[in-house]
Structure 1
Amino acid sequence: MPTTDKLRPRRSCLYMPGANARALEKAQSLPADMLVFDLEDAVAPDAKVEARETVAEAVRSRAYGQRELLVRINALESPWGRADMDAALQAAPDGILLPKVSTAAQVRAADQLLKAADSQAGLWAMIETPLAILNIREIAATAQETRLLGLVVGTNDLAKELQAVTDPSRSAFQVHLALTLAAARAFGLVAIDGVFNDFRDPEGLAAACEQGRLLGFDGKSLIHPAQLETANRVFAPEPGAVAQAQIIVEAFALEENQGKGVIQVNGKMVELLHLEQAQQLLAIARAIEAVNAG
Protein backbone atom coordinates (compact mmCIF):
# COMPACT_ATOMS: atom_id res chain seq x y z
CA MET A 1 0.00 0.00 0.00
CA PRO A 2 1.24 3.54 -0.68
CA THR A 3 2.69 5.58 2.14
CA THR A 4 1.10 8.99 2.62
CA ASP A 5 3.50 11.81 1.80
CA LYS A 6 2.96 13.58 5.12
CA LEU A 7 5.49 16.27 4.27
CA ARG A 8 3.64 17.48 1.18
CA PRO A 9 1.89 20.77 1.99
CA ARG A 10 -1.88 20.39 2.14
CA ARG A 11 -2.78 23.69 3.79
CA SER A 12 -5.43 24.62 1.24
CA CYS A 13 -7.83 22.26 -0.54
CA LEU A 14 -9.85 24.28 -3.07
CA TYR A 15 -13.00 22.90 -4.69
CA MET A 16 -13.48 23.86 -8.34
CA PRO A 17 -16.76 23.25 -10.22
CA GLY A 18 -16.13 20.60 -12.84
CA ALA A 19 -18.58 22.12 -15.31
CA ASN A 20 -16.75 25.45 -15.43
CA ALA A 21 -13.84 25.12 -17.87
CA ARG A 22 -12.84 28.74 -17.32
CA ALA A 23 -12.55 28.22 -13.56
CA LEU A 24 -10.47 25.09 -14.07
CA GLU A 25 -8.11 27.04 -16.32
CA LYS A 26 -7.84 29.84 -13.76
CA ALA A 27 -6.87 27.28 -11.12
CA GLN A 28 -3.58 26.74 -12.95
CA SER A 29 -2.28 29.95 -11.39
CA LEU A 30 -3.92 29.82 -7.97
CA PRO A 31 -1.72 29.26 -4.88
CA ALA A 32 -3.61 26.16 -3.74
CA ASP A 33 -1.79 23.13 -2.38
CA MET A 34 -4.66 20.89 -3.47
CA LEU A 35 -7.33 21.31 -6.15
CA VAL A 36 -10.52 19.25 -6.15
CA PHE A 37 -12.26 19.15 -9.52
CA ASP A 38 -15.82 18.49 -8.44
CA LEU A 39 -18.23 16.32 -10.43
CA GLU A 40 -20.66 15.84 -7.55
CA ASP A 41 -22.37 18.65 -5.63
CA ALA A 42 -21.14 21.45 -7.90
CA VAL A 43 -22.64 19.94 -11.06
CA ALA A 44 -26.32 19.69 -11.98
CA PRO A 45 -27.57 16.28 -13.18
CA ASP A 46 -28.03 17.42 -16.78
CA ALA A 47 -24.43 18.71 -16.88
CA LYS A 48 -22.72 15.63 -15.43
CA VAL A 49 -21.50 14.13 -18.70
CA GLU A 50 -20.10 17.39 -20.07
CA ALA A 51 -18.42 18.17 -16.75
CA ARG A 52 -16.80 14.74 -16.72
CA GLU A 53 -15.24 15.41 -20.11
CA THR A 54 -14.15 18.91 -19.09
CA VAL A 55 -12.44 17.67 -15.94
CA ALA A 56 -10.71 14.79 -17.72
CA GLU A 57 -9.33 17.20 -20.30
CA ALA A 58 -8.11 19.57 -17.59
CA VAL A 59 -6.32 16.79 -15.72
CA ARG A 60 -4.73 15.48 -18.91
CA SER A 61 -3.34 18.94 -19.67
CA ARG A 62 -0.76 18.57 -16.89
CA ALA A 63 -0.90 22.35 -16.55
CA TYR A 64 -1.17 22.56 -12.74
CA GLY A 65 2.45 22.35 -11.68
CA GLN A 66 3.06 21.05 -8.16
CA ARG A 67 -0.59 21.31 -7.14
CA GLU A 68 -2.12 18.04 -5.98
CA LEU A 69 -5.09 17.24 -8.22
CA LEU A 70 -8.09 15.30 -6.95
CA VAL A 71 -11.30 14.51 -8.80
CA ARG A 72 -14.41 14.23 -6.66
CA ILE A 73 -16.57 11.73 -8.47
CA ASN A 74 -20.22 11.02 -7.89
CA ALA A 75 -20.91 8.08 -5.59
CA LEU A 76 -20.22 4.76 -7.28
CA GLU A 77 -23.79 3.76 -6.41
CA SER A 78 -25.14 6.71 -8.42
CA PRO A 79 -25.94 6.69 -12.17
CA TRP A 80 -22.74 8.65 -12.89
CA GLY A 81 -20.19 7.27 -10.46
CA ARG A 82 -18.65 4.42 -12.43
CA ALA A 83 -18.29 6.50 -15.59
CA ASP A 84 -16.75 9.30 -13.50
CA MET A 85 -14.25 6.88 -12.04
CA ASP A 86 -13.29 5.40 -15.41
CA ALA A 87 -12.79 8.82 -17.02
CA ALA A 88 -10.84 10.15 -14.06
CA LEU A 89 -8.50 7.17 -13.89
CA GLN A 90 -7.77 7.44 -17.61
CA ALA A 91 -6.81 11.09 -17.09
CA ALA A 92 -4.56 10.07 -14.15
CA PRO A 93 -5.08 12.65 -11.38
CA ASP A 94 -3.17 12.39 -8.11
CA GLY A 95 -6.26 11.15 -6.32
CA ILE A 96 -9.94 10.28 -6.36
CA LEU A 97 -12.16 11.86 -3.72
CA LEU A 98 -15.08 9.61 -2.81
CA PRO A 99 -18.21 11.43 -1.62
CA LYS A 100 -20.36 10.43 1.33
CA VAL A 101 -18.29 7.44 2.39
CA SER A 102 -20.18 5.71 5.20
CA THR A 103 -18.65 2.23 5.27
CA ALA A 104 -15.29 0.56 4.79
CA ALA A 105 -16.84 -1.52 2.00
CA GLN A 106 -17.23 1.62 -0.14
CA VAL A 107 -13.51 2.34 0.11
CA ARG A 108 -12.64 -1.25 -0.76
CA ALA A 109 -14.97 -1.21 -3.78
CA ALA A 110 -13.31 1.94 -5.12
CA ASP A 111 -9.87 0.49 -4.45
CA GLN A 112 -10.71 -2.56 -6.55
CA LEU A 113 -11.43 -0.28 -9.50
CA LEU A 114 -8.07 1.44 -9.04
CA LYS A 115 -6.31 -1.91 -8.99
CA ALA A 116 -8.18 -3.13 -12.07
CA ALA A 117 -7.09 0.02 -13.93
CA ASP A 118 -3.52 -0.30 -12.62
CA SER A 119 -3.86 3.27 -11.40
CA GLN A 120 -1.33 5.05 -9.21
CA ALA A 121 -3.96 7.48 -7.90
CA GLY A 122 -4.65 7.67 -4.19
CA LEU A 123 -8.07 7.47 -2.58
CA TRP A 124 -9.57 10.14 -0.35
CA ALA A 125 -12.82 9.74 1.59
CA MET A 126 -15.38 12.42 2.37
CA ILE A 127 -16.60 12.02 5.95
CA GLU A 128 -20.00 13.71 5.87
CA THR A 129 -22.64 11.33 7.22
CA PRO A 130 -23.54 10.20 10.75
CA LEU A 131 -22.88 6.60 9.73
CA ALA A 132 -19.37 7.55 8.62
CA ILE A 133 -18.65 8.86 12.11
CA LEU A 134 -19.96 5.66 13.68
CA ASN A 135 -17.77 3.63 11.29
CA ILE A 136 -14.77 5.98 11.26
CA ARG A 137 -12.27 3.51 12.69
CA GLU A 138 -13.14 0.83 10.14
CA ILE A 139 -13.06 3.35 7.28
CA ALA A 140 -9.64 4.67 8.27
CA ALA A 141 -8.28 1.17 8.87
CA THR A 142 -8.77 0.32 5.19
CA ALA A 143 -5.56 2.31 4.65
CA GLN A 144 -3.76 -0.87 5.67
CA GLU A 145 -5.05 -2.68 2.58
CA THR A 146 -6.11 -0.01 0.08
CA ARG A 147 -4.79 3.20 -1.50
CA LEU A 148 -6.67 5.37 1.02
CA LEU A 149 -4.53 8.43 1.78
CA GLY A 150 -6.76 10.91 3.54
CA LEU A 151 -10.06 11.90 5.14
CA VAL A 152 -11.88 15.12 4.23
CA VAL A 153 -14.62 16.35 6.55
CA GLY A 154 -17.84 17.50 4.86
CA THR A 155 -19.41 19.72 7.49
CA ASN A 156 -22.23 21.03 5.29
CA ASP A 157 -23.62 17.58 4.65
CA LEU A 158 -23.01 16.61 8.26
CA ALA A 159 -25.05 19.61 9.39
CA LYS A 160 -27.89 18.58 7.10
CA GLU A 161 -27.87 14.95 8.20
CA LEU A 162 -27.55 15.78 11.89
CA GLN A 163 -30.15 18.56 11.69
CA ALA A 164 -27.54 20.58 13.53
CA VAL A 165 -27.50 24.32 14.03
CA THR A 166 -24.12 25.77 13.13
CA ASP A 167 -22.40 28.50 15.14
CA PRO A 168 -19.00 30.22 14.83
CA SER A 169 -17.35 27.76 17.22
CA ARG A 170 -18.81 24.73 15.38
CA SER A 171 -20.12 23.32 18.64
CA ALA A 172 -22.22 20.71 16.86
CA PHE A 173 -19.20 19.18 15.12
CA GLN A 174 -16.52 18.97 17.79
CA VAL A 175 -16.99 15.26 18.44
CA HIS A 176 -17.15 14.48 14.72
CA LEU A 177 -14.01 16.48 13.96
CA ALA A 178 -12.08 14.92 16.83
CA LEU A 179 -13.07 11.36 15.93
CA THR A 180 -12.17 11.87 12.28
CA LEU A 181 -8.80 13.33 13.20
CA ALA A 182 -8.06 10.56 15.70
CA ALA A 183 -8.87 7.89 13.11
CA ALA A 184 -6.72 9.61 10.50
CA ARG A 185 -3.73 9.83 12.82
CA ALA A 186 -4.17 6.25 14.07
CA PHE A 187 -3.77 4.93 10.52
CA GLY A 188 -1.32 7.44 9.07
CA LEU A 189 -3.78 9.45 6.99
CA VAL A 190 -3.98 13.12 6.04
CA ALA A 191 -6.92 14.98 7.62
CA ILE A 192 -8.54 17.99 5.90
CA ASP A 193 -11.01 20.19 7.79
CA GLY A 194 -14.42 21.19 6.41
CA VAL A 195 -15.37 24.35 4.54
CA PHE A 196 -16.15 27.85 5.79
CA ASN A 197 -19.10 29.03 3.73
CA ASP A 198 -18.88 32.83 3.87
CA PHE A 199 -15.95 33.69 1.61
CA ARG A 200 -16.58 37.39 2.27
CA ASP A 201 -15.76 37.00 5.96
CA PRO A 202 -11.96 36.75 6.24
CA GLU A 203 -11.97 37.13 10.02
CA GLY A 204 -14.42 34.27 10.42
CA LEU A 205 -12.38 32.14 8.04
CA ALA A 206 -9.18 32.87 9.96
CA ALA A 207 -10.85 31.82 13.22
CA ALA A 208 -12.13 28.59 11.65
CA CYS A 209 -8.70 27.82 10.20
CA GLU A 210 -7.06 28.48 13.55
CA GLN A 211 -9.52 26.15 15.25
CA GLY A 212 -8.79 23.43 12.71
CA ARG A 213 -5.03 23.91 13.09
CA LEU A 214 -5.27 23.69 16.87
CA LEU A 215 -7.27 20.48 16.58
CA GLY A 216 -4.50 19.04 14.42
CA PHE A 217 -5.84 19.13 10.86
CA ASP A 218 -3.37 19.38 7.99
CA GLY A 219 -5.38 21.93 6.04
CA LYS A 220 -8.76 23.44 5.20
CA SER A 221 -11.36 22.75 2.53
CA LEU A 222 -12.08 25.95 0.62
CA ILE A 223 -14.86 27.09 -1.73
CA HIS A 224 -13.40 30.30 -3.16
CA PRO A 225 -9.95 31.49 -4.28
CA ALA A 226 -10.26 34.46 -1.92
CA GLN A 227 -9.85 32.01 0.98
CA LEU A 228 -6.47 30.68 -0.14
CA GLU A 229 -4.19 33.25 1.45
CA THR A 230 -5.73 32.79 4.89
CA ALA A 231 -5.61 28.99 4.86
CA ASN A 232 -2.05 28.92 3.53
CA ARG A 233 -0.93 31.35 6.21
CA VAL A 234 -2.68 29.76 9.19
CA PHE A 235 -1.73 26.16 8.39
CA ALA A 236 1.92 27.00 7.68
CA PRO A 237 4.40 26.61 10.56
CA GLU A 238 4.87 29.88 12.46
CA PRO A 239 8.33 31.46 12.11
CA GLY A 240 8.91 31.23 15.86
CA ALA A 241 8.07 27.53 15.85
CA VAL A 242 10.43 26.95 12.92
CA ALA A 243 13.24 28.74 14.73
CA GLN A 244 12.65 26.71 17.89
CA ALA A 245 12.55 23.47 15.90
CA GLN A 246 15.92 24.33 14.36
CA ILE A 247 17.38 24.93 17.82
CA ILE A 248 16.14 21.52 19.01
CA VAL A 249 17.57 19.70 15.98
CA GLU A 250 20.93 21.43 16.34
CA ALA A 251 21.03 20.69 20.08
CA PHE A 252 20.49 16.96 19.58
CA ALA A 253 23.19 16.98 16.89
CA LEU A 254 25.85 18.21 19.33
CA GLU A 255 28.51 15.61 20.11
CA GLU A 256 27.83 15.74 23.84
CA ASN A 257 24.14 14.91 23.25
CA GLN A 258 24.66 11.89 21.02
CA GLY A 259 22.71 8.88 22.29
CA LYS A 260 20.72 10.86 24.82
CA GLY A 261 16.97 10.52 25.07
CA VAL A 262 16.44 13.72 27.01
CA ILE A 263 18.42 16.98 26.87
CA GLN A 264 18.02 20.54 28.08
CA VAL A 265 17.26 23.25 25.53
CA ASN A 266 16.82 26.86 26.67
CA GLY A 267 16.05 25.74 30.19
CA LYS A 268 13.46 23.13 29.18
CA MET A 269 13.69 19.35 29.06
CA VAL A 270 13.34 18.07 25.50
CA GLU A 271 12.80 14.41 24.56
CA LEU A 272 13.31 12.42 21.38
CA LEU A 273 9.63 12.81 20.55
CA HIS A 274 10.21 16.58 20.45
CA LEU A 275 13.14 16.01 18.11
CA GLU A 276 10.91 14.00 15.78
CA GLN A 277 8.27 16.74 15.84
CA ALA A 278 10.91 19.38 15.15
CA GLN A 279 12.32 17.46 12.20
CA GLN A 280 8.85 17.03 10.71
CA LEU A 281 8.02 20.71 11.18
CA LEU A 282 11.24 21.77 9.48
CA ALA A 283 10.61 19.39 6.59
CA ILE A 284 7.12 20.83 6.10
CA ALA A 285 8.49 24.37 6.23
CA ARG A 286 11.07 23.50 3.57
CA ALA A 287 8.39 21.89 1.40
CA ILE A 288 6.26 25.04 1.62
CA GLU A 289 9.30 27.16 0.67
CA ALA A 290 9.81 24.94 -2.37
CA VAL A 291 6.15 25.34 -3.37
CA ASN A 292 6.34 29.11 -2.97
CA ALA A 293 9.55 29.26 -4.99
CA GLY A 294 8.07 27.16 -7.77
Structure 2
Amino acid sequence: MTQQTTFRPRRSVLYMPASNERALAKAATLPCDGLILDLEDAVAPDAKDVAREQACAAAQTGDYGRREVTIRINAIGTQWHEADLAAAAKAGPDAIAVPKVNSAAEVLALVEAMERAGAPDHTTLWAMVETPIAMLRCHEIASASPRLSVLVMGTNDLVKELYAEHVPGREPLLAALGTALLGARAAGKAILDGVYNDVKNTEGFLAECAQGRQMGFDGKTLIHPGQVAGANEAFAPSEQAITDARGVLEAWEAGGSGGVVTYNGRLIENLHVESAQRILTMHEAIQALEEA
Protein backbone atom coordinates (compact mmCIF):
# COMPACT_ATOMS: atom_id res chain seq x y z
CA MET A 1 0.00 0.00 0.00
CA THR A 2 1.34 3.42 -0.97
CA GLN A 3 1.45 5.95 1.84
CA GLN A 4 0.63 9.63 1.61
CA THR A 5 3.81 11.65 2.04
CA THR A 6 2.19 14.46 4.01
CA PHE A 7 -0.96 14.82 6.04
CA ARG A 8 -3.37 17.64 5.27
CA PRO A 9 -6.46 18.03 7.46
CA ARG A 10 -9.70 17.74 5.51
CA ARG A 11 -12.15 17.37 8.40
CA SER A 12 -14.66 19.83 6.94
CA VAL A 13 -14.91 20.58 3.21
CA LEU A 14 -17.74 22.97 2.40
CA TYR A 15 -19.51 23.34 -0.95
CA MET A 16 -20.16 26.99 -1.85
CA PRO A 17 -22.14 28.03 -4.95
CA ALA A 18 -19.73 29.99 -7.14
CA SER A 19 -22.58 31.97 -8.65
CA ASN A 20 -23.22 33.63 -5.27
CA GLU A 21 -20.70 36.42 -4.61
CA ARG A 22 -21.80 36.80 -1.01
CA ALA A 23 -21.25 33.10 -0.36
CA LEU A 24 -17.76 33.29 -1.86
CA ALA A 25 -16.90 36.24 0.39
CA LYS A 26 -18.35 34.55 3.48
CA ALA A 27 -16.29 31.43 2.80
CA ALA A 28 -13.13 33.36 3.68
CA THR A 29 -14.40 33.76 7.27
CA LEU A 30 -15.41 30.16 7.98
CA PRO A 31 -13.24 27.73 10.03
CA CYS A 32 -13.50 24.90 7.50
CA ASP A 33 -10.43 23.01 6.33
CA GLY A 34 -11.44 23.14 2.69
CA LEU A 35 -13.80 24.75 0.21
CA ILE A 36 -15.36 23.45 -2.98
CA LEU A 37 -16.33 26.41 -5.15
CA ASP A 38 -19.15 24.74 -7.03
CA LEU A 39 -19.95 25.15 -10.73
CA GLU A 40 -22.16 22.07 -10.88
CA ASP A 41 -25.25 21.18 -8.83
CA ALA A 42 -25.52 24.48 -6.96
CA VAL A 43 -25.51 26.58 -10.15
CA ALA A 44 -28.38 27.05 -12.59
CA PRO A 45 -27.59 26.56 -16.30
CA ASP A 46 -27.97 30.26 -17.10
CA ALA A 47 -25.47 31.15 -14.35
CA LYS A 48 -22.72 28.70 -15.32
CA ASP A 49 -20.53 31.21 -17.16
CA VAL A 50 -20.68 33.78 -14.37
CA ALA A 51 -20.01 31.11 -11.76
CA ARG A 52 -16.94 29.92 -13.68
CA GLU A 53 -15.50 33.43 -13.83
CA GLN A 54 -16.21 34.11 -10.16
CA ALA A 55 -14.79 30.80 -8.94
CA CYS A 56 -11.57 31.22 -10.89
CA ALA A 57 -11.16 34.81 -9.73
CA ALA A 58 -11.85 33.83 -6.11
CA ALA A 59 -9.31 30.98 -6.23
CA GLN A 60 -6.61 33.42 -7.31
CA THR A 61 -7.22 36.08 -4.66
CA GLY A 62 -5.41 34.43 -1.76
CA ASP A 63 -8.30 35.52 0.48
CA TYR A 64 -8.96 31.99 1.76
CA GLY A 65 -5.73 31.70 3.72
CA ARG A 66 -5.10 28.24 5.15
CA ARG A 67 -8.19 26.69 3.55
CA GLU A 68 -7.71 24.20 0.73
CA VAL A 69 -9.51 25.71 -2.26
CA THR A 70 -11.06 23.40 -4.82
CA ILE A 71 -13.20 24.17 -7.87
CA ARG A 72 -15.85 21.58 -8.75
CA ILE A 73 -16.42 21.67 -12.48
CA ASN A 74 -19.27 20.17 -14.47
CA ALA A 75 -19.10 16.50 -15.40
CA ILE A 76 -17.44 14.91 -18.41
CA GLY A 77 -19.78 15.06 -21.41
CA THR A 78 -21.68 18.16 -20.32
CA GLN A 79 -21.62 21.30 -22.47
CA TRP A 80 -19.67 23.20 -19.81
CA HIS A 81 -17.03 20.60 -18.92
CA GLU A 82 -14.19 21.53 -21.24
CA ALA A 83 -14.44 25.28 -20.63
CA ASP A 84 -14.70 24.68 -16.88
CA LEU A 85 -11.64 22.45 -16.81
CA ALA A 86 -9.50 24.79 -18.91
CA ALA A 87 -10.43 27.84 -16.84
CA ALA A 88 -9.97 26.07 -13.51
CA ALA A 89 -6.59 24.71 -14.58
CA LYS A 90 -5.39 28.20 -15.50
CA ALA A 91 -6.68 29.59 -12.17
CA GLY A 92 -4.51 27.08 -10.31
CA PRO A 93 -6.58 26.22 -7.21
CA ASP A 94 -5.37 23.56 -4.80
CA ALA A 95 -7.50 21.02 -6.65
CA ILE A 96 -10.12 20.51 -9.33
CA ALA A 97 -13.03 18.28 -8.33
CA VAL A 98 -14.76 16.37 -11.11
CA PRO A 99 -18.18 14.69 -10.67
CA LYS A 100 -19.06 11.16 -11.74
CA VAL A 101 -15.60 9.81 -12.47
CA ASN A 102 -16.12 6.19 -13.48
CA SER A 103 -12.77 4.79 -14.63
CA ALA A 104 -8.99 5.05 -14.62
CA ALA A 105 -9.16 6.08 -18.28
CA GLU A 106 -11.26 9.09 -17.34
CA VAL A 107 -8.74 10.03 -14.63
CA LEU A 108 -5.89 9.88 -17.12
CA ALA A 109 -7.83 11.95 -19.66
CA LEU A 110 -8.64 14.56 -17.00
CA VAL A 111 -5.02 14.78 -15.88
CA GLU A 112 -3.87 15.14 -19.48
CA ALA A 113 -6.41 17.91 -20.07
CA MET A 114 -5.35 19.70 -16.86
CA GLU A 115 -1.71 19.62 -17.91
CA ARG A 116 -2.54 20.71 -21.46
CA ALA A 117 -4.42 23.69 -20.02
CA GLY A 118 -1.42 24.70 -17.91
CA ALA A 119 -2.47 23.55 -14.43
CA PRO A 120 0.40 24.23 -12.00
CA ASP A 121 2.02 21.30 -10.23
CA HIS A 122 0.23 22.03 -6.94
CA THR A 123 -3.23 21.64 -8.51
CA THR A 124 -4.36 18.07 -7.91
CA LEU A 125 -7.44 16.16 -9.05
CA TRP A 126 -10.30 15.16 -6.76
CA ALA A 127 -12.45 12.41 -8.27
CA MET A 128 -16.06 12.20 -7.18
CA VAL A 129 -17.28 8.59 -7.07
CA GLU A 130 -21.06 8.41 -7.09
CA THR A 131 -22.21 5.54 -9.32
CA PRO A 132 -22.32 1.74 -8.94
CA ILE A 133 -19.60 1.25 -11.56
CA ALA A 134 -17.35 3.75 -9.76
CA MET A 135 -17.77 1.82 -6.51
CA LEU A 136 -16.60 -1.35 -8.23
CA ARG A 137 -13.57 0.49 -9.67
CA CYS A 138 -12.52 2.67 -6.74
CA HIS A 139 -9.01 1.24 -6.44
CA GLU A 140 -8.50 1.51 -10.20
CA ILE A 141 -9.66 5.14 -10.10
CA ALA A 142 -7.68 6.08 -6.99
CA SER A 143 -4.42 4.58 -8.25
CA ALA A 144 -4.66 5.81 -11.85
CA SER A 145 -2.46 8.90 -11.44
CA PRO A 146 -0.20 10.50 -8.81
CA ARG A 147 -2.01 13.75 -9.56
CA LEU A 148 -5.23 12.35 -8.09
CA SER A 149 -5.12 13.10 -4.37
CA VAL A 150 -8.67 12.63 -3.04
CA LEU A 151 -11.77 10.54 -3.65
CA VAL A 152 -15.06 12.25 -2.76
CA MET A 153 -18.18 10.23 -2.06
CA GLY A 154 -21.24 11.45 -3.94
CA THR A 155 -23.78 9.75 -1.71
CA ASN A 156 -26.89 11.54 -2.99
CA ASP A 157 -26.33 10.37 -6.55
CA LEU A 158 -25.32 6.93 -5.34
CA VAL A 159 -28.58 6.53 -3.40
CA LYS A 160 -30.48 7.48 -6.55
CA GLU A 161 -28.50 5.07 -8.75
CA LEU A 162 -28.99 2.19 -6.29
CA TYR A 163 -32.76 2.85 -5.97
CA ALA A 164 -32.02 3.03 -2.25
CA GLU A 165 -33.32 5.33 0.47
CA HIS A 166 -31.74 7.84 2.83
CA VAL A 167 -32.12 6.30 6.29
CA PRO A 168 -30.41 6.86 9.67
CA GLY A 169 -27.32 4.70 9.89
CA ARG A 170 -27.01 4.52 6.07
CA GLU A 171 -27.34 0.73 5.97
CA PRO A 172 -28.14 0.72 2.21
CA LEU A 173 -24.80 2.47 1.54
CA LEU A 174 -22.48 0.63 3.91
CA ALA A 175 -21.17 -1.82 1.32
CA ALA A 176 -20.42 1.00 -1.11
CA LEU A 177 -18.82 3.21 1.54
CA GLY A 178 -16.60 0.35 2.67
CA THR A 179 -15.62 -0.54 -0.88
CA ALA A 180 -14.65 3.05 -1.66
CA LEU A 181 -12.59 3.24 1.53
CA LEU A 182 -10.76 0.04 0.64
CA GLY A 183 -9.93 1.41 -2.80
CA ALA A 184 -8.70 4.74 -1.48
CA ARG A 185 -6.58 3.25 1.29
CA ALA A 186 -5.08 0.61 -0.99
CA ALA A 187 -3.94 3.45 -3.26
CA GLY A 188 -2.75 5.64 -0.37
CA LYS A 189 -5.24 8.42 -1.16
CA ALA A 190 -7.50 10.51 1.05
CA ILE A 191 -11.27 9.99 0.93
CA LEU A 192 -14.10 12.29 2.00
CA ASP A 193 -17.55 11.21 3.13
CA GLY A 194 -20.66 12.49 1.37
CA VAL A 195 -22.97 15.29 2.47
CA TYR A 196 -25.74 15.21 5.06
CA ASN A 197 -28.88 16.77 3.60
CA ASP A 198 -31.00 17.78 6.60
CA VAL A 199 -29.17 20.88 7.80
CA LYS A 200 -31.61 21.35 10.72
CA ASN A 201 -31.05 17.86 12.14
CA THR A 202 -27.90 18.41 14.19
CA GLU A 203 -28.21 15.11 16.04
CA GLY A 204 -28.47 13.14 12.81
CA PHE A 205 -25.56 15.04 11.27
CA LEU A 206 -23.27 14.43 14.23
CA ALA A 207 -24.20 10.73 14.26
CA GLU A 208 -23.28 10.46 10.59
CA CYS A 209 -19.98 12.29 11.23
CA ALA A 210 -19.18 9.83 14.01
CA GLN A 211 -20.01 6.91 11.73
CA GLY A 212 -17.81 8.29 8.95
CA ARG A 213 -14.91 8.83 11.32
CA GLN A 214 -15.27 5.34 12.78
CA MET A 215 -15.26 3.85 9.29
CA GLY A 216 -12.05 5.68 8.43
CA PHE A 217 -13.00 8.69 6.30
CA ASP A 218 -10.64 11.68 6.47
CA GLY A 219 -13.49 14.18 6.72
CA LYS A 220 -16.91 15.13 5.44
CA THR A 221 -18.21 17.26 2.62
CA LEU A 222 -20.73 19.82 3.86
CA ILE A 223 -23.57 21.90 2.43
CA HIS A 224 -24.06 24.46 5.21
CA PRO A 225 -21.68 26.60 7.30
CA GLY A 226 -23.48 25.43 10.44
CA GLN A 227 -22.07 21.94 9.88
CA VAL A 228 -18.40 23.00 10.00
CA ALA A 229 -17.82 22.95 13.77
CA GLY A 230 -19.37 19.51 14.21
CA ALA A 231 -17.28 17.99 11.43
CA ASN A 232 -14.10 19.60 12.74
CA GLU A 233 -14.64 18.06 16.15
CA ALA A 234 -15.75 14.66 14.89
CA PHE A 235 -12.82 14.12 12.53
CA ALA A 236 -10.09 15.35 14.90
CA PRO A 237 -8.44 13.07 17.47
CA SER A 238 -10.02 13.36 20.92
CA GLU A 239 -7.99 14.51 23.91
CA GLN A 240 -8.03 10.93 25.21
CA ALA A 241 -6.78 9.59 21.88
CA ILE A 242 -3.92 12.12 21.90
CA THR A 243 -2.99 11.23 25.49
CA ASP A 244 -3.06 7.51 24.71
CA ALA A 245 -0.99 8.00 21.54
CA ARG A 246 1.70 9.82 23.47
CA GLY A 247 1.61 7.13 26.16
CA VAL A 248 2.02 4.36 23.61
CA LEU A 249 5.05 6.04 22.03
CA GLU A 250 6.64 6.73 25.41
CA ALA A 251 6.14 3.11 26.49
CA TRP A 252 7.52 1.84 23.20
CA GLU A 253 10.64 4.01 23.46
CA ALA A 254 11.14 3.11 27.13
CA GLY A 255 10.94 -0.57 26.21
CA GLY A 256 13.68 -0.21 23.65
CA SER A 257 11.22 -0.49 20.75
CA GLY A 258 11.07 -4.24 21.08
CA GLY A 259 10.32 -7.18 23.34
CA VAL A 260 7.16 -7.18 25.44
CA VAL A 261 5.91 -3.61 25.90
CA THR A 262 2.67 -2.64 27.60
CA TYR A 263 0.69 0.57 28.07
CA ASN A 264 -2.15 0.67 30.61
CA GLY A 265 -2.05 -3.12 30.72
CA ARG A 266 -2.33 -3.52 26.95
CA LEU A 267 0.30 -5.22 24.82
CA ILE A 268 1.91 -2.77 22.38
CA GLU A 269 3.08 -3.87 18.94
CA ASN A 270 4.36 -2.07 15.85
CA LEU A 271 0.85 -1.60 14.51
CA HIS A 272 -0.16 0.29 17.68
CA VAL A 273 2.92 2.49 17.34
CA GLU A 274 2.07 3.33 13.73
CA SER A 275 -1.51 4.22 14.71
CA ALA A 276 -0.24 6.41 17.56
CA GLN A 277 2.15 8.22 15.24
CA ARG A 278 -0.65 8.86 12.77
CA ILE A 279 -2.90 10.30 15.49
CA LEU A 280 -0.17 12.69 16.65
CA THR A 281 0.69 13.69 13.08
CA MET A 282 -2.99 14.49 12.52
CA HIS A 283 -3.19 16.45 15.77
CA GLU A 284 -0.09 18.49 14.98
CA ALA A 285 -1.28 19.23 11.43
CA ILE A 286 -4.66 20.43 12.74
CA GLN A 287 -2.95 22.63 15.32
CA ALA A 288 -0.69 24.15 12.67
CA LEU A 289 -3.67 24.78 10.40
CA GLU A 290 -5.70 26.48 13.12
CA GLU A 291 -2.77 28.64 14.19
CA ALA A 292 -1.94 29.74 10.64
The TM-score with structure 2 as length reference comes to 0.95
Amino acid paired to 1:95: A
1:119 aligns with 2:117: no
Instruction: Provide the aligned length of Structure 1 versus Structure 2.
Output: 289
Deviation per residue, 1:183-222 (Å, 9 max, x gap): 0000001010011001111111000000101111010110
Counterpart in the other structure of 1:66: 66
Counterpart in the other structure of 2:266: 268
1:136 aligns with 2:134: no
Counterpart in the other structure of 1:233: 233
Structure 1 residues 187-198: aligned runs within 5 Å:
187-198=187-198
Counterpart in the other structure of 2:36: 36
Asked whether the equivalents of residues 101 and 107 of structure 2 are also in contact (C-alpha less than 8 Å), the reply is yes
Structure 1 position 229, deviation (Å):
0.7
Give SS of 2:28's match.
helix
Structure 1 position 160, deviation (Å):
1.3
Check 1:63–1:202 CA distance in 2 against 1; reply closer, same or farther (3 A cut): same
Check 1:261–1:231 CA distance in 2 against 1; reply closer, same or farther (3 A cut): farther
Counterpart in the other structure of 1:202: 202
Report the aligned-residue RMSD. 1.5
Structure 1 distance, partners of 2:189, 2:269, is: 25
Deviates more, 1:245-254 or 1:260-269: 260-269
Structure 2 distance, partners of 1:208, 1:45, is: 32
Asked whether the equivalents of residues 194 and 220 of structure 1 are also in contact (C-alpha less than 8 Å), the reply is yes
Structure 2 distance, partners of 1:77, 1:16, is: 23
Give SS of 2:143's match.
helix
Amino acid paired to 2:241: A
Structure 2 distance, partners of 1:261, 1:207, is: 40
Amino acid paired to 1:184: A
Structure 2 distance, partners of 1:279, 1:133, is: 30
Structure 2 distance, partners of 1:3, 1:65, is: 27
Amino acid paired to 2:282: I
Asked whether the equivalents of residues 193 and 212 of structure 1 are also in contact (C-alpha less than 8 Å), the reply is yes
Asked whether the equivalents of residues 90 and 119 of structure 2 are also in contact (C-alpha less than 8 Å), the reply is no
284, 288, 291: which one aligns with 2:289:
291
Deviation per residue, 1:79-126 (Å, 9 max, x gap): 111111111111110001110111111111111122322522111111
Structure 1 distance, partners of 2:9, 2:134, is: 26
Structure 1 distance, partners of 2:160, 2:182, is: 23
The TM-score with structure 1 as length reference comes to 0.94
Gaps (5+ residues) in structure 2?
none
Taking every aligned residue pair, what percent have the same amino acid on both sides?
Answer: 47
Give SS of 1:192's match.
strand
Counterpart in the other structure of 1:173: 173
Check 1:260–1:3 CA distance in 2 against 1; reply closer, same or farther (3 A cut): closer
Asked whether the equivalents of residues 136 and 179 of structure 2 are also in contact (C-alpha less than 8 Å), the reply is no
Structure 1 distance, partners of 2:8, 2:137, is: 27
Amino acid paired to 1:58: A
Asked whether the equivalents of residues 7 and 280 of structure 1 are also in contact (C-alpha less than 8 Å), the reply is no
Asked whether the equivalents of residues 111 and 146 of structure 1 are also in contact (C-alpha less than 8 Å), the reply is no
